[in-house]
Amino acid sequence: MDAPNTLEIMTLLLKVAHITFIILVVSAVLGLLLGALLTMINVKNIPVLKQFTVVISSFTRSVPIIIQLFIVYYALPPLMANFGINVSNMSATVAAILALTLYHGGYLTEVLRAAYKAVDKGQHEAADSLGYTPMTKFFRVILPQVVPVALPGWGNALIHLIHDTSLVFALGVADIMGRAELIAAASFGVNQVQVFIAVAVIYIIVTFLSDGMVRLFEKKTRKYKLDSGLKARGI
Amino acid sequence: MLNFEILVENFFGILTVVPQTVALAVTIFILSILIGTVMALIQEYNVPVLQHLVMLFKLFLRGTPLIVFIFIMYYSLPGVVSFFTNLLNLDYNPHNMSPIVILIVAVSLTVSAFQAETIRASFLSVHYGQIEAARSLGYTPFQTFCRIITPQALVEALPEFGSAFLVVMKAISLGFMITVVDIFAEARLIASSNSYYVEAFIVAALMYWGIAYFVVTLTSKCESYLVRRT
C-alpha cells in the first residue's frame, strides 16, 4: 500500500467508525442500566446482593480495563461451560461490550449512590406524608433531584468509557484503532504519527460532542436542583 | 475449571515484576506531580503564551485516549528528540530510545494534566486568612508557600493523589503495546507460554486489586494522621 495522505487515512478510519460507535452506545446504555440496578440493590440494603455490588464496583475500579476485557473474552466461555451454557463462539465485539458494560456499571454505581444519598431525607418524608406511592415518590420527587447531582459524574464516566473503547482492538475488534494499527503497520514507518493523530482527532471530536451533550442536560435539569435550607436562607 | 497449580505458579511468576511495576508507577507519579504543579502555577499566575499552551494541551489530553497518545509518542518522540540533539550537536541517537522512557513521558504528561487540577484546587482551598497571618508575621512568600500553604494543601490533595497513583498503576498496563513489561504484560507472556489464559489474567487482576486496596488504606491512614497534626 502506498503511503496515503491524511484525508485518505481519515476516510479509511471513518469507514470503521460505526463499530466503535455501536460498542460505545450499547455499553453506555447497558452500563447505565446496570449501574442503576446495582445502586438500587445497594441503597435498599438487600443482604448478600449488596456485598456483591460492593465487590463489583471495587473490582471494576481497581483493575485495568484491559485486564477486564481479557478476562471476559477468555474466562467467560469456560466459566459458562461449567453451567452448560455454550458461549465459546462469542465474538470479540460482544466480549468488548460485556466488559465495558460491567466496567461502566461498576463505575457509575459510585456516582449514582452518592447522588441518591445527596437527596435530603426531608424530601422522602415529605413525599411519604403526602401519601405518594413508592413509585410516584421515586419518579416525581427523588429522581428529578438525583439527575442534576449525578450528571457531572456521569459525564466523566462517559468520557472514560469513550477512551476505553480505544482498547477493544486488543481483543481483535476491527474498530478505529484496529484499522489505525493496520494502516500504521502497512505504511512502513512513513506516516504512523499521522495515523494516530487522525485517531486522536476523531476521539477528541466524539469526547467534546458528548461533553456538550452532558452540559446541555445539566442546563436543562438545573431547575430541579433544590438549594439546601441554609443556603436558601442566606446563611 | 481453574487449574490451581498453575494459579499458584503464576502468582509467584507475576510477583517478580510487581516491584518494577510499582517503581515505574512511582516514578511517573512523582513526575506527574512536578509537571502538574508547574502547569497549575502557570495557570494561577497567568503566564502569557505558556498558559494558552497548557490550556490547549489539557484540551488535547482530555479528548485523546491514553493508548492513542502512547502511540503518538512512540512514533514521534525519537524524531522530536533527534531534532533537538541535532540542533545542539549532541552525540545521542534517540532512535534506540527505550520504550520505558516513552511510556514514562506519555503517561506522566497525561496524568499531569489531571494533577494540575487537583493541585490548583487544593491550593485554592487554603484559607486566605492563613496567608495574611503569615504575611503579618513577616514570613517571606517562599516561607509562606513551604510552611503554611503546602502542608494544608497536601491534606486536601492526599485522597486525590491516592486515586491518581492507582490511575497511573492501571495506565502503565498499556505499556505492553510498546513492549514494556509490567504486571499485565508478564501475565500475557506467561499465558502465551502455557496457554492458561484465564489463570494468568485472574492472578494479574487480583494483584492489581490488592495493590489498590493497600494504596487506599495507606492514603486514608496518612490523611487522618495529617488531619490530626494540622
Quick check: A3 contacting B, CB < 8 Å?
Answer: no
CB contact under 8 A, B63 and A199: no
Residue A62 at interface with chain B, using a CB cutoff of 8 Å: yes
pLDDT greater than 80 at residue B41: yes
Convert the pLDDT of each residue in A61-73 to its tens digit: 899 999 999 999 9
Give me chain A's average pLDDT, please. 87
> How far is the alpha carbon of B1 from chain A, nearest alpha carbon, in Å?
7
Interface contact B174-A167, CB threshold 8 A: yes
B217 touching chain A per CB within 8 A: no
Whether A196 and B202 lie within 8 Å, measured CB to CB = no
Instruction: Report residue B69's pLDDT band, with 50, 70 and 90 as the boundaries.
Output: very high
Q: Which residue of A has its CA nearest to B70?
A: A196
The x, y and z cell numbers of residue A55, run together, are 465487590
Look at B209 and A63 and tell me if their CB atoms are within 8 Å: yes
Cell numbers 550537536 correspond to what residue?
B89
Which single residue is written with the C-alpha cell 491512614? Answer: B221
* ipTM at complex level: 0.86
Closest Cα to residue B161, out of B59, B21, B34, B23? B34
Residue B190 and residue B11: Cα distance in Å, rounded?
11
| B172 φ, ψ (degrees, to nearest 5) | -75, -5
CB contact under 8 Å between A184 and B64, yes or no, is: no
Check: CB of residue B186 under 8 Å from CB of residue B13: yes
pLDDT in tens, A145-194: 899 889 989 999 999 999 999 999 999 888 899 888 888 888 776 778 88
**Cα gap B13→B187, rounded to integer Å:** 8
Farthest-apart Cα atoms in chain B, separation: 70
Is B62 near chain A, with CB under 8 Å? yes
* Closest CB from A61, A78, A166 relative to B198: A78
Give the cell for residue B224: 487522618
| Chain-chain contact of A200 with B166 (C-beta, under 8 angstroms) | no
Quote the minimal CA–CA distance from B230 to chain A in Å.
27
What is the Cα–Cα distance from A9 to A211, expressed in whole angstroms? 26
DSSP state, B88? Answer: T
pLDDT tens track for B42-53: 988 888 899 999
Chain B contact for A193, CB < 8 A?
A: yes
B198 touches chain A (CB under 8 A): yes
Please report the pLDDT score of residue A1 as a whole number: 45
β strands within chain A, DSSP E = none
Q: Enter the C-alpha cell of residue A85.
A: 451454557
Query: Model-level pTM?
Result: 0.87
Gap between the Cα atoms of A62 and B207, Å rounded: 10
Select from A13, A45, A25, A38 the least CA-distant residue to A93: A25
Q: Which residues of B touch A200 (CB under 8 A)?
A: 60, 63-64, 68-69, 72
CB neighbours (10 Å) of residue A90? 15
Question: What is the pLDDT at residue A192?
Answer: 83
Among B68, B170, B188, the residue with its CB nearest the CB of A203 is B68
Cβ contact, residue pair A64, B184, below 8 Å: yes
pLDDT (mean) for A204-227: 87
